[in-house]
Amino acid sequence: MVSSHCLCVTARTTVRQIQRLFVHIQPHQLQNMANQTVNGTFMYFSYGSNLLRERILINNPSAKFFGVGRLQGYTLAFGSPEGTSSKRWLGGGATILKVDRPSSVYGVIWVVDNSDMKNLDRQEACYRSLQVDVELTSKTQHSTEQTLAEMVQCRTYEMPNGIGNSLPSPHYKKVILMGARQNGLPDDYISFLEQLPDNEVTEEPVGYKRVMEMLKKMNGESSR
- Residues recognised as catalytic: 124
* Residues 6 or more apart in contact with residue 156 via CB below 8 angstroms: 44, 45, 46, 47, 71, 96, 129, 130, 131, 132, 134
Q: Beta 151-158 vs 93-98: how paired, if at all?
A: unpaired
β-strand pairing of 128-136 with 64-72:
antiparallel
**Rounded Cα–Cα distance for residues 99 and 103 (Å):** 7
| Known binding-site residue numbers for substrate | 44-49, 172
Handedness of CA 60, 66, 72, 76 (dihedral sign): positive
CA dist., res. 158 & res. 87, Å (int):
18
DSSP code at position 18 = H
Instruction: Supply the angle between the helices 206-222 and 170-182 in degrees, to the nearest 10.
Output: 30
What is d(CA 115, CA 189) in angstroms, rounded to the nearest whole number? 32
